[in-house]
Amino acid sequence: MPKVLRIINRFNIGGPTYNAVFLTKFISEDYETLLVGGLPEADESDSLHILESYGVKPLLIPEMKRIPSFKSDREAYRKIKQIIQEFQPEIVHTHAAKAGALGRKAAKACGVPVIVHTFHGHVFHSYFGKAKTLIYKTIERRLAQFSTGIIALSPIQKEELSQTHRICKPEKIRVIPLGFDLSKFQENRTEKRVQTRNAWNIAENEVAVAIVGRLAPIKNHQLFLDVLEAAAKNGVKARYFIVGNGQEREAIEKRAETLRKTYGLQIELTGWIKDIATFNAGMDIICLSSDNEGTPVSLIEAQASGIPVISTDVGGVRDILREGETGYVIPKGAVSAFSEKLQLLIQNEEIRTKMSQNGQNFVRDKFHYTTLVRNMENYYAELIEKSGKNAK
């Protein structure tokens, strides 16, 4: 029985956590798997309740932190090596940058036969200046050289990694989309809608618009607020909800307060919401305004909830929605175009209803965790066979 050691950056709310949990929980009995990861940063909400809900018990490495630190990184590396030596995995599978760097180096040092890394996003633009970005690219190219396989979440991401940023040759990259437990977004939607709209005092004739994600610069909530201001200038009204928390909260709240006073906009900063399935059911439109993304979980969950989406054209967004059918994709930074589509959806219930039905049908099979697990098992078997190593 092959053993898989799965290493994730940290257990915060987001796609990597769900990906790691579903692969750990639902992989077939042909594999034995162990999940290891760090803890969330101070401005993030932890996702350990997600692991608990699926009965997954991880090993925690507090030293695995987002910010580079020689001391903590060295200790995290030492602990990962110790875990590898004790667990003796045939496969080490890392998720996201920090886990990918420390985990792959440790796996190579310990002679692990198969080393796999999943890019849940990348920092090759919109995060740092040119010099620092080049350093990160150089590191990832070296890590890719001794990786047995690289996983991209979408065809667009594969093209970016292989062609745009030249991290490795395309033959080394396998596209395996994220998978989710989508049933909770589709069950009892009427009851959940009433519950959410009552909780937030949303009238039945009001259109509710949300944006879900970390309040971080890369998510560009200021663009979202620019879009709301443009809509307000045209007299278009709705209820707006900013879901999440992070370092930009104070700046976002300050700008939101200005918009409230100037235009009478109703904007709520909700913090993190654990039961996002119930919350989504009460919404009518969900937006994303990021400058960089991998595969945005909030857009998949929105479509599963029957909610039309509007997003900037970043990362793998075009691979997870159907333009004009389940939502709209807008050029990055295009306030006017974004606001026009938002106003169209706010004012046209017929379009929202059609997109709602299309969205649910689109994501139901493509992004279910059973598809993720099946694709990953097949890839593992292929890589083990190529490695020439038999399971212990």
The predicted-structure confidence for 184-212, as pLDDT tens digits, reads as follows 898 999 999 999 999 999 999 999 999 99
pLDDT given at position 44: 66
Average pLDDT over residues 367-391: 87
User: Residue 108 CB: number of other CB atoms within 10 A?
Assistant: 15
Is the pLDDT at 321 greater than 70? The verdict is yes
pLDDT interval class at 122 (50, 70, 90): low
Dihedral sign of CA atoms 95, 96, 98, 102 in order: positive
* HSE toward the beta carbon, residue 157, CA cutoff 13 A: 27
Is the pLDDT at 22 greater than 90? The verdict is yes
Chain-centroid distance, C-alpha 157: 13
Is the pLDDT at 215 greater than 90? The verdict is yes
Query: Over the Cα atoms of the chain, what is R_g?
Result: 21
263-299 burial string, b = 16+ CB within 10 Å, else e? bebbbebeebbeebbbbbbbbbbbbbbbbbbbbbbbb
Across the chain, mean pLDDT equals: 91
pLDDT interval class at 11 (50, 70, 90): confident
Digit-coded pLDDT (tens) for 74-120: 999 999 999 999 999 999 999 988 899 999 999 999 999 999 999 98
Digit-coded pLDDT (tens) for 246-257: 999 999 999 999
User: 3-state SS of 3-57?
Assistant: EEEEEEEECECCHHHHHHHHHHHHCCCCCEEEEEEECCCCCCCECHHHHHHCCCC
C-alpha 149/C-alpha 177 separation (Å) is 15
Burial bucket for residue 81 (CB in 10 Å: 0-12, 13-18, 19+): middle
Is the pLDDT at 390 greater than 50? The verdict is no
In this predicted model, which residue has the larger pLDDT, 176 or 391?
A: 176
Please state the pTM of the whole predicted model.
0.77
Digit-coded pLDDT (tens) for 125-141: 545 677 877 888 889 99
Digit-coded pLDDT (tens) for 81-94: 999 999 999 999 99
Dihedral sign of CA atoms 289, 294, 298, 299 in order: positive
pLDDT given at position 221: 97
Average pLDDT over residues 222-228: 98
Which domains are present in the chain? 3-180+368-387 (3.40.50.2000), 183-366 (3.40.50.2000)
